[in-house]
């Protein structure tokens, strides 16, 4: 499996991770800043939260890590929590904005 195919599967898997308080997945919310897949299947993801004090932060990171780790071809999964750049509603997909009534 190519790194591109693995990355596509990662995006699909991240779209199954939801903040318990928001009916939109973390990918469409714009919380995923970077996905790197190395040739040996090691995955490095930069993600943020809607707010640094988000009570669901640990749950979201662990849910994302477990789901990505379950993908065939992924040998390790590292999720880095970052707050630069700061998340804004502009980072949401059009679908997320519609779902949440921002359009």
- Is 103 among the domain residues? no
Q: How many CB atoms lie within 10 A of CB 75?
A: 11
pTM: 0.93
Q: What is the pLDDT of residue 19?
A: 85
Token pair of 31, please? 């919380």
* Domains contained in the chain, number: 1
Asked if the structure places residue 95 within a domain, the reply is no
Torsion of CA 43, 6, 91, 51, to 10 degrees: -40
> Which pLDDT score is estimated for 68?
98
Write out the chain's pLDDT in tens, 103 residues: 899 999 999 999 999 999 888 889 999 999 999 999 999 999 999 999 998 898 899 999 999 999 999 999 999 999 999 999 999 999 999 999 999 998 7
Print the domain residue range for 84: 3-89
Place of tokens 């190395």: 38
Residue 45 has a pLDDT of 98
- Supply the CATH number for residue 64's domain: 3.30.300.130
Backbone φ and ψ for 76, nearest 5 degrees, come out as: -155, 155
């Amino acid at each position: 499996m190519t790194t591109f195919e693995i990355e596509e599967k990662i995006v699909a898997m991240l779209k199954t991770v939801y903040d318990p308080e928001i009916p939109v997945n973390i990918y469409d919310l714009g919380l995923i800043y970077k996905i790197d897949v190395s040739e040996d299947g090691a995955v490095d993801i930069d993600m943020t939260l809607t707010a640094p004090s988000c009570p669901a932060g640990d749950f979201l990171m662990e849910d994302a890590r477990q789901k990505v780790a379950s993908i065939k071809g992924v040998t390790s999964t590292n999720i880095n929590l970052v707050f630069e750049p700061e998340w804004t509603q502009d980072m949401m997909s059009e679908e997320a904005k519609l779902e949440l009534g921002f359009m």
